[in-house]
């Protein structure tokens, strides 16, 4: 079991770290990496709500 990464440029999920800076991760599972953009959106929305308070 390795770490999983989401490649922003290609939309691919890799178990090995892709080269370059177009990646998000590491994530503990392939499924978590596939939902990287959803997770980032949720975190950004939570941070925005926190900043508004």
CB burial of residue 34 (10 Å; 0-12, 13-18, 19+): middle
Per-residue pLDDT reduced to its tens digit, 31-41: 999 999 999 99
Per-residue pLDDT reduced to its tens digit, 2-33: 799 999 999 999 998 777 789 999 999 999 99
Q: pTM for this one? A: 0.79
How many Cβ atoms from other residues are within 10 Å of residue 6's Cβ? 25
């Amino acid at each position: 079991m390795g770490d999983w990464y989401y490649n922003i440029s290609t939309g691919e999920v890799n178990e090995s770290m892709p080269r370059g800076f177009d990646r998000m991760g590491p994530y503990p599972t392939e499924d978590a990496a596939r939902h990287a953009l959803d997770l980032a959106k949720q975190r950004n929305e939570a941070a925005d709500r926190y900043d508004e308070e």
